[in-house]
Amino acid sequence: MPDFIELAGRIPDCTFIWFGYTPKNLLTTEIRRAMKAKPQNLIFPGFIEKEELRDAFCGCDAFLFLSYEETEGIALNEALSMKVPY
């Protein structure tokens, strides 16, 4: 996530949205600091229902998949199934 936040800060004319939710007590200090200092063009809507996620994938210009932990690539498969540019 710090990479995503940093990238959003480097491209202020684009809107970045991070979907998903993790309980705050599971976040590292580094992640909490990065989220607190996020740029204005970054939105954290949290968990959304599958219909909203589908609409987000269909309405986006690009899908960015940055991960150090994802083992199944489900988010990537979902985005590709919606034919989101990558």
Each residue's pLDDT tens digit, 2-40? 899 999 999 999 999 998 889 999 999 999 999 999 999
Is the pTM above the cut of 0.85?
no
Sign of CA dihedral 75, 76, 77, 78: positive
Using one digit for the tens of pLDDT, what is the confidence trace for 45-80? 999 998 898 888 888 888 887 777 766 677 777 777
> Closest Cα partner for 42 from 76, 78, 73, 13?
13
